[in-house]
Chain A
Amino acid sequence: MTKAIRQENLYGAEDWTVVYTSFKNADFTAYDFDTLRQSMVDYMQVNYAEEYNDYIQSSEFIALLDLVAYVGQNLAFRMDLNARENILDTAEKRESVLRIARMLSYKPKRVRVAQGLLKVTSVQTSESILDSLGQDLSNKTISWGADPSELEYERFMTVMNSVFSSNNPFGTPAHRSVNTSTGNIFEIYKCENSTPIINYPISAVADGTNLNFDIVPVEIDTAGSIQQPSPDYNSSFNLLYRNDSKGVGSTKTGFFVLAKQGYTASRDEVLISPQSNLIIDLEQTSSISEDDFYVQTVDAAGNILKEWKRVGNLDYTNIVVNSYGNSEKDCTK
């Protein structure tokens, strides 16, 4: 048979009959071991009734059918499993869900941690500080708004001023912002750090669960939003003063710190020379928050030389960072 004739037979004459016969005899509801086995036995009984009729379980041929049915069940299970991964309702793998979401133009986010402002309700200092009456305030607990007298307020501010940087006393904030709609005043005060620090870890019970929180510095960006500055051991620790013009008894008036769930961790990576498509695996990658990650170029002493910027989401399972300004092209060389 020439090649051309054979192809004609395959594609034109024979092919449809073969396909038709196959589909006619196939049992498309047979997926598991029992139904696959039964469909094969049925097929044998219809097509080979004259040659074989030993359908007892102990028959050797039935043992072979069992084996084929078992393999068929395994294949069907895996096909079913993969088919389910293509549908958002039934997909269970994180990677599958993210791919379907990307097809729907949805950009998945990483986890966002709980955060909020904690009000400083009382202060205590071991430092010997005198109030306007000459009274030593060391080791005394001074509460905010507990005593309406001006003396208590003055004592509280005296202690706070001893914490603040000398060129940054209360009334002379490092940064000030006023909410034009509510009239609330927001001021940033820098502390005089005795030791370099970027966070104060604390723990708190929330809904019966003991959780880690970090008290972190706070700043007001150019848009007037309260946020955490990039961690820098050479920077001062900042506090927020807020005043809603309703007196010291107001819950929204006083000094505040920014608290975030989780903990701050860092890791040093030494990059001797630029590398393309470098991937650095971090522990607990899935728990790193959407916003609270920072990549910095630091020198041997830990001083920050450069802040890296986030690149648009290329792969939603990873965080991609780079410094791509004209003056920061060393990372993209």
Chain B
Amino acid sequence: MRRFKGYNTVGKEFGNFKLYDIDLVKRDLLNEIYTRKGTRLMSPTYGSIVWDLLFDPLYDDAIEAIRDDCLRIINKDPRLKMLQCNVTENIDQQTIIVALALIYVPTSTTTELIATFNRTTSTEMLEG
């Protein structure tokens, strides 16, 4: 039985826009992570700081800031818990990669989520 029922158009042009349960929860999480902080209507604290750090050198303090921000975002959703957060960069592709290990609380399922932020295009690329 489906517990969470939602709606998503990302990556879809036609057909069924419905999304359920863990796929829906992960999609919701990506929605916020891929939103630049301060750009959401009437919600200045909504979104992620990664886009603002995209052109900074990826030192330890920047990695820590991204981790804290991801934890803050994940903690807003009671359906998820963060196990691990790895922040790396692919210099050749000018990309920051945030790999998240998560627990989907309703079923205690472990899952992974990878968010990719590209410096060249500044547009999100979805994986996983």
Contacts and interface: CB of A to CB of B under 8 A. Distances in A.
Interface of A: 33, 50-54, 56-61, 63, 66-67, 69-70
B41 A59 contact: no
A288 B27 CA distance: 66
A63 B43 CA distance: 10
Given A59-B28, A60-B10, A54 B5 contact: yes
B33 to A, nearest CB: 9
Given A60-B9, A60-B10, A60-B31, 15 more contacts: A33-B42, A52-B6, A52-B7, A54-B5, A54-B7, A57-B46, A58-B28, A58-B76, A58-B77, A59-B6, A59-B28, A60-B6, A66-B40, A66-B41, A67-B41
A59 B31 contact: yes
A70 B41 contact: yes
Contacts of A51: 5
A49 to B, nearest CB: 9
Interface in B1-26: 4-10, 24
Nearest to B18: A51
6 contacts: A58-B29, A58-B73, A59-B6, A60-B6, A63-B40, A63-B41
A54 B41 contact: no
B8 A60 contact: yes
Contact of B28 (A54, A69, A70): A54
B112 interface: no
A59 B29 CA distance: 8
A288 B29 CA distance: 64
B32 interface: yes
